[in-house]
Amino acid sequence: MISCTLARMRLALSVLCLPLLASTVSAQSVKLVRSVDAPRQGGGFASVLADRYVAPGYPKRMPEGQAVPSELVFPVLDARSGALVEAKLGISKFVKEHDKAFMAGAVITRPKGNKTLEVTFELVHYDPESGHAGLLLHDTRSAKKGVDYRYYYAPWDLKAERIGKPVPLTEPGPAVVHALGATKDTVFCSIERPGADKREVSAVGLDVETGKESWKHDFTAPLRNQQLAGHFYHVADTGFDKLAFVEYSEKAYGPLSPPATGFVIDRKKDGEVTFPVPLSPYGLAFSPDGKELVVASAELAQVARVDLATKKSSAPTKIGKGLQRLALTGKTIFLFFGQGKTIETLSWPALKPKKKLPVAKSIKGSKALDSETSVVLDGGKRIAVADLDGKRIHILDLVD
């Protein structure tokens, strides 16, 4: 059985760092715009969809054995207007139309004549303006019956209120799929398949409307023995021209052989660059020009720049302990720490300490922030943060 820690890590991988628009914002303080009651679906890292919508929490999963409801509701926060949008998914209609779409693990069952849907729905794209959204689906029951997971992408037509036919992303067999993010037309995912002595990894682009594969790049990574060692953190630059995959490691594992490695894929050149990475790389971000990668280590409490041409790292800058997330927008790096009350900032490219933003003090009744559900939006002009108890999400403007 997958541990809670591993499940939490896997969610962190695809959404820890977000592609953001370049900006020259140099915030000195924060101003609360709005607080919204938006409880997360059990916890987990937030993601940003269409550079505007914040989807908090874990993928939507129904309790085991529960009869299929008429709909599932995904709470999505519109960070521009401050409104909480309820993206409603018509499950009953979906099951009726695609009852035979799933082939592994009997994802749709009929105990005592009742239909039960045991599948996870992850919202990986949401753009009401274009009328399109996308879902990453995988079964939640097959492992109990000794059947390997199978993953699917399902296009969601918001205007027609219809989910398209799920497109298989993997064949039955050991594999893990992570959503990496999306542009207006393409959803990006990674597919990992373990081999005898290595992992086969595919970065793929899927057409938002059809799920048809439009781009693919394959590479191999070492096969690790420890439970979390080697799991990837992902980040993309603006436009998804470059994608970074960085292996996780920590002191408790001892030295890895070969050492933990980072992979950067250039979609325009269809090539890849590898480089060594530090312990627990919880913070990743591309530089605005895409020539460098910012890599932070939670365990070492430091952040450095990696030149992707020379593969050399700059002298590290010490930061606080407990880093969970990092974002780079223009000339500012934002650092989010676990259960913190402030957001710390560094200058780019000098990596010099700038300002601690007293976010918790700006929010009435907030004692501490949940860094997992904290994201930077609009090129560093606005942030969305959640209370540690996960009951409210707050939108704040960054002001001079």
pTM assigned to the model: 0.86
With a cut of 90, say whether residue 108 has pLDDT above it.
no
Distance CA 181, CA 242 (A): 12
The whole-number pLDDT of residue 345 equals: 93
What is the pLDDT confidence band of residue 9, given thresholds at 50, 70 and 90?
A: very low
The whole-number pLDDT of residue 195 equals: 82
Residues 262-279 pLDDT 10s: 999 999 987 899 999 999
Domains of the chain and CATH, by start: 4-399 (2.130.10.10)
Most confident residue range from 64-68, 95-99, 124-128, 222-226: 124-128
Contact indicator for 96, 170 with CB cutoff of 8 Å: no
Of 191, 13, 169, nearest to 102 by C-alpha is 169
The whole-number pLDDT of residue 163 equals: 86
Q: What is the mean pLDDT of residues 372-395?
A: 83
Per-residue CA distances from 144 to 1, 4, 125, 314, 361 (Å): 9, 16, 29, 47, 47
- Sheet of strand 323-329: strand arrangement: 323-329, 332-337, 343-347, 353-357
With a cut of 90, say whether residue 241 has pLDDT above it.
yes
With a cut of 70, say whether residue 79 has pLDDT above it.
yes
The whole-number pLDDT of residue 113 equals: 53
Q: What is the DSSP-derived secondary structure letter of residue 313?
A: B
* Average pLDDT of the chain to the nearest whole number: 80
Owner of token pair 């497109």: 167
Bigger pLDDT: 292 vs 70 = 292
The whole-number pLDDT of residue 270 equals: 77
Six token digits for residue 177: 């799929």
What is the pLDDT confidence band of residue 112, given thresholds at 50, 70 and 90?
A: low
The dihedral through the CA atoms of 201, 206, 210, 212 has a sign that is negative
Determine phi and psi for 337, rounding to 5 degrees. -110, 150
Q: What is the mean pLDDT of residues 232-256?
A: 90
Q: Which residues have a Cβ under 8 Å from the Cβ of 399 and sit 6 or more positions away?
A: 27, 28, 29, 30, 31
Distance CA 344, CA 354 (A): 8
Helices (runs of H) and strands (runs of E) counted in the chain: 2, 32
